[in-house]
Amino acid sequence: MSLWPPDFAGRIDERTIDSRLLRGNPLGDPHRRPLWVYTPPGYDDEPERRYPAVYMLLGFTGTLPAWSNQPGAFRTSVPVATDALFARGEAPPMILVFVDAWTSYGGSQYVDSAGTGRYHSYLCEEVVPWVDARYRTIPDRDHRAIAGKSSGGLGAMITSMLRPDLFGAFATHSGDALSEAQYIPHFLQAVRDLRAYGGDVFTWWDDFRSRTAFTKQEDLRLLEILAVSACFSPGADGTPMLPFDPVTGVLRPEVWERWLRWDPVRMAPAHAEALRSMRAIWIDAGTRDEWFLDLGALAFRDALGRAGVAEDTVRFELFEAGHVAIEYRHPQALAWLAHRLAP
Amino acid sequence: MSLWPPDFAGRIDERTIDSRLLRGNPLGDPHRRPLWVYTPPGYDDEPERRYPAVYMLLGFTGTLPAWSNQPGAFRTSVPVATDALFARGEAPPMILVFVDAWTSYGGSQYVDSAGTGRYHSYLCEEVVPWVDARYRTIPDRDHRAIAGKSSGGLGAMITSMLRPDLFGAFATHSGDALSEAQYIPHFLQAVRDLRAYGGDVFTWWDDFRSRTAFTKQEDLRLLEILAVSACFSPGADGTPMLPFDPVTGVLRPEVWERWLRWDPVRMAPAHAEALRSMRAIWIDAGTRDEWFLDLGALAFRDALGRAGVAEDTVRFELFEAGHVAIEYRHPQALAWLAHRLAP
Amino acid sequence: MSLWPPDFAGRIDERTIDSRLLRGNPLGDPHRRPLWVYTPPGYDDEPERRYPAVYMLLGFTGTLPAWSNQPGAFRTSVPVATDALFARGEAPPMILVFVDAWTSYGGSQYVDSAGTGRYHSYLCEEVVPWVDARYRTIPDRDHRAIAGKSSGGLGAMITSMLRPDLFGAFATHSGDALSEAQYIPHFLQAVRDLRAYGGDVFTWWDDFRSRTAFTKQEDLRLLEILAVSACFSPGADGTPMLPFDPVTGVLRPEVWERWLRWDPVRMAPAHAEALRSMRAIWIDAGTRDEWFLDLGALAFRDALGRAGVAEDTVRFELFEAGHVAIEYRHPQALAWLAHRLAP
Amino acid sequence: MSLWPPDFAGRIDERTIDSRLLRGNPLGDPHRRPLWVYTPPGYDDEPERRYPAVYMLLGFTGTLPAWSNQPGAFRTSVPVATDALFARGEAPPMILVFVDAWTSYGGSQYVDSAGTGRYHSYLCEEVVPWVDARYRTIPDRDHRAIAGKSSGGLGAMITSMLRPDLFGAFATHSGDALSEAQYIPHFLQAVRDLRAYGGDVFTWWDDFRSRTAFTKQEDLRLLEILAVSACFSPGADGTPMLPFDPVTGVLRPEVWERWLRWDPVRMAPAHAEALRSMRAIWIDAGTRDEWFLDLGALAFRDALGRAGVAEDTVRFELFEAGHVAIEYRHPQALAWLAHRLAP
């Protein structure tokens, strides 16, 4: 019985990487990691042909099998929709690499962190070479892109800025950006949530792990804040440090500043050259995104302009939607990238 | 590559039924239908052993592959969670039959309708005998149950009432009930939604089919109303007739009355004997269900009491939640049913 | 010190009526009732001149002094805004009569009720003659109108239908109509509210009266339901009877039916002749009214059409707003009525 | 006809001050300002007796007549409720001074500003001496307090910090504090609002002034932001400068910094001595305040503690409510202050 429909024209290999870098990570999460590699229709018929590759990053709480989820009736999953584009010849074929960077807190934000592990390095130094060694990619940055939604969009932006030698294009859908817009309203609400837990996020965390997850309204909000704290602001021993006082909501500047260092809007000036080197940048977000990532998208585009990125490199769109059920944007961006990256 | 995790102890067979009853259905939907049959751990080792069976019905817009969706991190899908219960010996093993009754409008409500097709008959007269002929069920009503969420819960309730000769137990999670509570607030909002479509639901329907589904906030609400109209109040030619004036919201009594005939709360008195014959009835709903199905659950329980159903037959619970992300209730009910139906 | 600004051109007399009909009312509410009579600029200068009169009804929980409330900055109260229209000659002058029909439950719905008192009769048989005897009105139905917002709009509609001999025109702003749209969503929510009070509205009522009013989110909703029950469905001893089961939300048909008798949409057919006799009817409501009274307005207009009311008698408008802070609609309707009723 | 009920035991004098400091203010607002002075029951009978005085500040968009508004049924206005406390002997009598600091933008935030005028100085240098000269106050800071809600609470906090020589106690109800909590969520929403106005707040402002105020959902939000910009961050010519980019929402640090200078939480350390000199400080807020002023209250209390204010000086409470309809908190605080300030 197959995970994919009968008319699936390409193929998805479900692989496992034994990561050296994730071995002994602080949370005791697995170092053997699943990886899905999609090869497009025709891949086996043209054994000499090489393809651009796009690394696909998951959003917060996402795990690899979610890519195959049936996203409600009347829609298709990202691999199925993208495969159909290739099969119909509407976009030049590419290899897609679905990366797992899950942690016990729900995600890694694709950074190296003393709180979670070296997920940035894992992606750049282990996954990319592993794929290039086993699949017929065009193994250079001009034909390698990275894409994601939400936290995955953050990963696409920051990884491209940090490693322009590896990635020459990226797509971000409702990607984390403009941290005060994204987080402050949620911090404020979290303070109210925490009143039921004596102002202690770890009391909530113990409760959360003792029962069915996400049965309380505050669960996702508190989990996200705890997880990002683990990624961006772990203490010396790896314990997540919240960027605000859990009783008053007052920002803790020294902690909050560590979060801001990962804000793509604030990172852009220092990585202007990397950004100018990109061959293609897709940015989109929903007009009523619950994390105000539409403003994040606008601010990041603005930052690109000030960094000197040429306008025709960037494809920008705000679309009528919130933050969820927007997986249909992926195939649109992939088709656009495919045309830009085609050899 | 498997749809299921390595430690999945049972087995799911993906089968197809060629339905005679759905052939030539009004919407031109397929008459060849997928069916998943789960056999529990040990099924192949004890070739003489027979098992109770539970028929699992999907909610509105659900399709069979949704059962295998990874329901967000920190949770597992219904088959995986239930399989684990059986594997750990926490519940006596059962066969689970995952039924497809999808239509082009998103669902069939598990009724026979001139607007969609004969899905009730398909389930009772084709699926049940087909399964009994091919799997080692205990082929009697005392060991056959039916369960579902939302529209699937409706299916569980009404099918049990109509065919107590086939089903001797059921579970309904946030099942459709108390029609005025469930629908009237949505009708009122739909009237406002339809102002952008000249008050014509078919103008919206044409628009909906021309673009990515569910990108507008009104999509799910209007789709549901149109679909249920197709199921409960088709015109002579099968065209869905709305139960309200789309400009003023005034109920159309002769159409609305047809909807009310499918309200389990209103059906209960006429099917009191069937209900009294049930061996086990599980009813639950979230306290802040967006369709007020918590009130539907309370009202249905009340109707059971008035029909003379013994209190110890019924397991009732309101839990803190809305209407979505409550798939974790299924395994709880299945474990309870398993103990009640065990031979 | 005056209640009114220095440039107020007319005059408001604060009077008191000693009502015979309200004496000994069931709630022990006062039978001496305040009444404000506004006379327009020029009233004292032309001692022979007579004027049309409009009876102004308050919404639920409103009391007479509320008419003089400063409705937030950038706006003026209804008497001040209307006075300015007359002073500037933008509308022919009229007398305005501000009527009090307050009860201990917050309002009377302007009906005669064994639960609250004879407020309909008080208005028609006591207030109108009292005013005509003391002010230079044109004392006939062709020059007497009635207007109100919310419950006041209900009062305007039903009083005109019941006493077309007294009133020849009316204006309803977001007036109660289409009872199922107005009330059912609130009943459903009320059932949830009542869970904290053991399903007993009188437990809430005791709590409500023991503390500062309206400090709990459910207060207004439960008060309104209790008050309307007192008006529309009192028991033999005057005790309010809820039109729904407070635990399940199931409608109690025999009680609900008594509410429906006061639905202007349902009353219209039996009072078609009265409605056809009206000289002017103003209907408006906000497009996002929290009681769906925009649908009520549409349905009432529809009912007028079916009753044979000529289209040019009716002024209809949906405006972008909710249910509150719409007092600015009154002066617009009064100006329109003034032109229609001018002798 | 009186503004006040027959059993009103004290007296309110409606006075006018001709302000020298407001003459020629930037917005052309009146320099003749209304002032209400409440004298308690017994004031005229004991011509030698002197009383503590509390200066009462309005919230944003408030004007003096709003103090007499009938605040919905089942409640009474602040003067009426407080007068009753004095009349019943539940609190030692005080003089109350109701101050007007309205501007064309809706308020002055009680600061001196090149954008609006010298309202802080007007209050401290003109109103206070004027009252002391005409009423039998105890004319020293130990018997002079200041109180307000929302922007009025801000005025109470900052005026006390800036002029401890004038004010020796204060009460703040849901007072502006912790600026990022209060404003950032509203800035983000304002960016979305401004999309309909080309990202230009003055385009909205022109539209706002051309029609009935507050008929659009964005009106209050945009007005507040514009008004506070006029107060806190006027340009050299007095034009309000927004503290954020109206298209991307990115904070403009040099402007935002000017707002933060008026955040009571941030002002407290520099005014620790003034705060320690206070005889009584009342702080409260609703637990679900729409501007998160519950967090502002908590953070301000925290700042008081760090400034060395003795705990028994402070009365702190979070109460179950939002930001509106909380005028009933005033009499509670006034009674408490009365006991603390009684000679």
Chain D residues whose C-beta is within 8 A of a chain A C-beta are: 178, 180-181, 184-185, 188, 191-192, 245, 247-251, 265, 287-288, 292, 294-295, 298-299, 302
Task: List CB contacts (< 8 A) between D2 and chain C.
Answer: 1, 3
Mean model confidence pLDDT for chain B:
96
Return the ∠ at Cα C81 (arms to C79 and C84), rounded to 5°. 105
| C195 and C324 together in one domain | no
Q: Are strands D169-173 and D144-149 parallel, antiparallel or unpaired?
A: parallel
Q: Which candidate from B180, B191, B299 shows the least CB-CB separation from C295?
A: B191
Count how many Cα atoms sit within 13 Å of the Cα of residue B243 in the half-sphere of its side chain: 25
| B86 and B232 together in one domain | no
| C195 and C283 together in one domain | no
D343 CA to chain C: closest CA distance, Å? 30
The residues that bridge with D244 in the sheet, in sequence order, are: D251
The domain boundary, picked from D260, D295, D319, lies at: D260
Chains in contact with chain C (at least 3 beta-carbon pairs closer than 8 A)? B, D
Chain B residues whose C-beta is within 8 A of a chain C C-beta are: 178, 180-181, 184-185, 188, 191-192, 245, 247-251, 265, 287-288, 292, 294-295, 298-299, 302
D228 CA to chain A: closest CA distance, Å? 20
Q: Which candidate from C1, C102, C321 shows the least CB-CB separation from D3?
A: C1
Per-residue confidence in pLDDT tens, chain A, 343 aa: 467 888 999 999 999 999 999 999 999 999 999 999 999 999 999 999 999 999 999 999 999 989 998 877 789 999 999 999 999 999 999 999 999 999 999 999 999 999 999 999 999 999 999 999 999 999 999 999 999 999 999 999 999 999 999 999 999 999 999 999 999 999 999 999 999 999 999 999 999 999 999 999 999 999 999 999 999 999 999 999 999 999 999 999 999 999 999 999 999 999 999 999 999 999 999 999 999 999 999 999 999 999 999 999 999 999 999 999 899 999 999 999 999 999 9
Q: Give the Cα separation of A290 and B268 in Å (integer).
A: 42
Q: Nearest CA to B86 among B131, B43, B134, B149?
A: B43
Question: Which tens digits make up the pLDDT trace of D263-302?
Answer: 999 999 999 999 999 999 999 999 999 999 999 999 999 9
Q: Which candidate from B180, B185, B249 shows the least CB-CB separation from C251?
A: B180
| B45 and B120 together in one domain | yes
Query: DSSP 3-state assignment of B130?
Result: helix
D321 CA to chain C: closest CA distance, Å? 6
| D152 and D297 together in one domain | yes
HEC string of chain A equals: CCCCCCCCCCEEEEEEEECCCCCCCCCCCCCEEEEEEEECCCCCCCCCCCECEEEEECCCCCCHHHHHCCCCCCCCCHHHHHHHHHHCCCCCCCEEEEECCCCCCCCCCCCEECCCEEHHHHHHHHHHHHHHHHCCECCCHHHEEEEEECHHHHHHHHHHHHCCCCCCEEEEECCCCCHHHHHHHHHHHHHHHHHHHCCCHHHHHHHHHCCCCCCCCCHHHHHHHHHHHHHHCECCCCCECCCECCCCCCECHHHHHHHHCCCHHHHHHHHHHHHHCCCEEEEEEECCCCCCHHHHHHHHHHHHHHCCCCHHHEEEEEECCCCCCCCCHHHHHHHHHHHHHCC
Q: Do D214 and C66 touch (CB under 8 A)?
A: no
D221 CA to chain A: closest CA distance, Å? 16
Contact status, residue D240 vs residue D229, Cβ threshold 8 Å: yes
Q: Do D75 and C214 touch (CB under 8 A)?
A: yes
Q: Give the Cα separation of A111 and C99 in Å (integer).
A: 69
Residue showing tokens 């003459």? D23
E strand or H helix that includes residue A35:
strand A32-39
Mean model confidence pLDDT for chain C:
96
D274 CA to chain C: closest CA distance, Å? 34
Q: Give the Cα separation of C74 and A272 in Å (integer).
A: 48
Chains in contact with chain D (at least 3 beta-carbon pairs closer than 8 A)? A, C
CA dihedral (B195, B196, B201, B203) in degrees, to 10, reads: 140
D148 Cβ partners below 8 Å, 6+ apart? D56, D57, D58, D59, D154, D155, D156, D171, D172, D173, D175
What size, in residues, is chain A?
Answer: 343
Residue B1 has pLDDT above 50, yes or no: no
Query: DSSP 3-state assignment of C145?
Result: strand
Q: Do C319 and D215 touch (CB under 8 A)?
A: yes
- Structural tokens at position A282: 């897709």
Confidence of residue D2 (pLDDT cuts 50, 70, 90): low
- Across residues C274-293, what is the average pLDDT? 98
Q: Do A249 and D287 touch (CB under 8 A)?
A: no
CATH code of the domain containing D106? 3.40.50.1820
Question: Which tens digits make up the pLDDT trace of A228-241?
Answer: 999 999 999 999 99
Residue C242 has pLDDT above 70, yes or no: yes
> What is the percent of chain B with per-residue pLDDT over 90, rounded to a whole number?
95
Confidence of residue C2 (pLDDT cuts 50, 70, 90): low
Q: Which candidate from A1, A102, A212 shows the least CB-CB separation from B14?
A: A1
Contact status, residue A114 vs residue A22, Cβ threshold 8 Å: no
Q: Which candidate from D178, D180, D248 shows the least CB-CB separation from A298?
A: D248
- Structural tokens at position C316: 């209809």
Q: Do D180 and A302 touch (CB under 8 A)?
A: no
Confidence of residue D34 (pLDDT cuts 50, 70, 90): very high
Residue C283 has pLDDT above 50, yes or no: yes
Task: List CB contacts (< 8 A) between D74 and chain C.
Answer: 61, 106, 213-214
| B150 and B23 together in one domain | yes
Confidence of residue D5 (pLDDT cuts 50, 70, 90): confident
C53 Cβ partners below 8 Å, 6+ apart? C94, C95, C96, C97, C131, C135, C137, C138, C143, C144, C145
Q: Give the Cα separation of A58 and B182 in Å (integer).
A: 36
Q: What is the pLDDT of residue A2?
A: 62
The domain boundary, picked from B213, B231, B260, lies at: B260
Q: Give the Cα separation of D300 and C283 in Å (integer).
A: 49
Q: Do A192 and D247 touch (CB under 8 A)?
A: no
Any domain includes D4:
no
Q: Nearest CA to B240 among B207, B204, B213, B266?
A: B204
- Structural tokens at position C228: 């309307």
Chains in contact with chain A (at least 3 beta-carbon pairs closer than 8 A)? B, D
Q: What is the pLDDT of residue B2?
A: 63
Residue D72 has pLDDT above 90, yes or no: no
Mean model confidence pLDDT for chain D:
96
Any domain includes C4:
no
Contact status, residue A82 vs residue A40, Cβ threshold 8 Å: no
Q: What is the pLDDT of residue B6?
A: 84
Q: How far is CA A24 from CA A125, B65, B312, in A?
A: 17, 36, 52
Q: Nearest CA to A26 among A259, A205, A231?
A: A231
Q: Do B302 and C191 touch (CB under 8 A)?
A: no
> What is the percent of chain C with per-residue pLDDT over 90, rounded to a whole number?
95
- Across residues B151-155, what is the average pLDDT? 98
Q: Give the Cα separation of D38 and D338 in Å (integer).
A: 14
Number of domains in chain D: 2
Any domain includes D197:
yes
Q: Give the Cα separation of A243 and A254 in Å (integer).
A: 8
- Across residues C319-339, what is the average pLDDT? 96
Return the ∠ at Cα C35 (arms to C226 and C70), rounded to 5°. 80
- Structural tokens at position B221: 């609400």
Any domain includes B295:
yes
| B75 and B15 together in one domain | yes
Residue D1 has pLDDT above 60, yes or no: no
Q: Give the Cα separation of C228 and C201 in Å (integer).
A: 13
Q: Give the Cα separation of C76 and C67 in Å (integer).
A: 10
Q: Give the Cα separation of B304 and D258 in Å (integer).
A: 66
Q: Give the Cα separation of B339 and C92 in Å (integer).
A: 81
Is chain B in touch with chain C: ≥3 Cβ pairs within 8 A? yes
Is chain A in touch with chain C: ≥3 Cβ pairs within 8 A? no
B191 CA to chain C: closest CA distance, Å? 8
C283 CA to chain B: closest CA distance, Å? 14
In total, the C-beta contacts within 8 angstroms joining chain A to chain B are 74
Q: If you measure CA to CA, which chain C residue comes closest to D13?
A: C1
Chains in contact with chain B (at least 3 beta-carbon pairs closer than 8 A)? A, C
A92 CA to chain B: closest CA distance, Å? 22
- Across residues C108-132, what is the average pLDDT? 98
| B88 and B205 together in one domain | no
Task: List CB contacts (< 8 A) between D298 and chain A.
Answer: 247-249
The domain boundary, picked from C260, C286, C312, lies at: C260
Any domain includes A5:
no
Any domain includes B311:
yes
Q: Give the Cα separation of B215 and B206 in Å (integer).
A: 14
Q: What is the pLDDT of residue B260?
A: 98
What size, in residues, is chain B?
Answer: 343
Confidence of residue D200 (pLDDT cuts 50, 70, 90): very high
Domain coverage including residue A147: 11-178+263-341
Q: Give the Cα separation of B268 and B164 in Å (integer).
A: 13
| A195 and A70 together in one domain | no
| D164 and D208 together in one domain | no
Any domain includes A318:
yes
Any domain includes B6:
no
| B248 and B203 together in one domain | yes
| C119 and C69 together in one domain | yes
Question: Which tens digits make up the pLDDT trace of C11-61?
Answer: 999 999 999 999 999 999 999 999 999 999 999 999 999 999 999 999 999
A114 CA to chain B: closest CA distance, Å? 22
A48 C-beta neighbours (distance < 10 Å), count: 5
- Structural tokens at position C2: 């005056």
Q: Are strands B314-319 and B280-286 parallel, antiparallel or unpaired?
A: parallel
Task: List CB contacts (< 8 A) between B247 and chain C.
Answer: 298, 302
Q: How far is CA D298 from CA A188, B291, C343, D150, D158, in A?
A: 12, 38, 63, 15, 16
Contact status, residue A93 vs residue A51, Cβ threshold 8 Å: yes
Question: Which tens digits make up the pLDDT trace of D122-167?
Answer: 999 999 999 999 999 999 999 999 999 999 999 999 999 999 999 9
Q: Do A12 and B1 touch (CB under 8 A)?
A: yes
